[in-house]
Amino acid sequence: MRKLKILVSGAGIAGPAVAYWLSRYGCEVTVVEKAPGSRPGGQAVDFKGAAQLEVLARMGVLEEVRRRQTGGSDQVIVDGAGRRLAVMPAEFTGGEVEILRGDLAALLHERTAGDCAYVFGDSIAALEEAADGVRVAFERGAPGVFDLVVGADGIHSTVRGLAFGPEERYVRHLGYYYALARLDVDGAGEMYNEPGRMVSLGGPEAASFFVFASGPLAYDRFDVDEQRRVLADAYRGGGWRIPEVLREIAAVDDVYVDAISRTELGRYARGRVVLLGDAAYGNTLGGFGSGLAVLGAYTLAGELAAAGGDHRAAFAEYEEVMRPYAKAAMKGNAGPFLAPPTRARIALRNQVFKQRLLLRGMLKLTDAFATRGELRDYPQ
């Protein structure tokens, strides 16, 4: 296809993944990212099913992902006195291969930095489609004109807001929030529930994880003090080791709080702008985000190559291929499962992990969603 000049917003997983394929097809790719660099750490992400693993293999990163994988760990569910109630096995959340989000983002950046231009510490301020392409204004850098713009900038996508409209039209709050905090606490792998809230300790080597029920909250996602306040309010009066955990949170800067939400879009593209990954089909903690990101990146770039750069035809095929995968990912809400609203529901959830046959059935159902369909072959 002709050499397209393409701007990708977001340097997490979806952005560098699509940059890899687009550069292979001869495109001139620029990736812009608001953060000052590839973000380290974060929660673990996983891949499952032949299609997802095959995409990683075709990118030449599967073995390196396996080398850097976390291996996963069981979560021991305890009561307020620390007594063991049940075990959430690693395979329930870990997929076939699990890796820290930051490690995967760094790996993909390493594999694409030589062929693509990365601009960190900047973001898109305005988009205007014209006859010669998309005119883009940036918060800091000089404006430019691109043939296409790819929004791979997450569930709070700036590109989606500029091209499609306000976030509240397309992102549905699912009644829960989650948080990550790197704390210096003992008891890694212990998980505790009270109605509507959960704490899972990560210990000194991994982030502790929180899920709690709440309606929409007003706070600044980039203000650590406000995020600490949100957690303190949500867990005030909690039992077990929650008072100790809150004291630790007050002393650290590595805290992140966000809503559990779902992206609901009728179309993934508008004109010369197309959305990818969580920006188009995100479902927080749904277990499909990283897999859908690499599948979508492979498909989007491949369809552009197959269509000879005709973005209208390519975007239509991209939607046709990805819609069934995304539909499966849209079904769940992890909040009520991780932080059940009542003590009875907590006990029922714990019973699931004690019944191996039932648990195996749930895992098979999840894997069926992940492994449906076959990869299309695209021009080399």
Q: How many CB atoms lie within 10 A of CB 27?
A: 25
Q: How many CB atoms lie within 10 A of CB 379?
A: 9
**pLDDT of the residue at 43:** 78
Q: Which of 161, 94, 115 is nearest to 301 (CA)?
A: 115
What is the token pair recorded at 185?
């606490």
**pLDDT of the residue at 94:** 66
The per-residue pLDDT for range 196-216, each reduced to its tens digit, is 999 999 866 678 999 999 999
pTM for this model (two decimals): 0.92
DSSP annotation of 326: H
- Phi, psi (degrees; rounded to nearest 5) at 343: -65, -35
Asked if pLDDT for residue 184 goes beyond 90, the answer is no
Integer Cα distance of 235 and 374 in angstroms: 44
What is the token pair recorded at 180?
């990550």
The per-residue pLDDT for range 34-82, each reduced to its tens digit, is 999 887 767 788 888 888 999 999 999 999 999 988 766 788 999 999 9
Spatial strand order of the sheet with 144-146 comes to: 124-130, 133-138, 144-146
The per-residue pLDDT for range 294-327, each reduced to its tens digit, is 999 999 999 999 999 999 999 999 999 999 888 8
Residue 71's Cβ-count burial label (10 Å; 0-12, 13-18, 19+) is: exposed
DSSP annotation of 314: H
**pLDDT of the residue at 132:** 86
Integer Cα distance of 294 and 286 in angstroms: 16
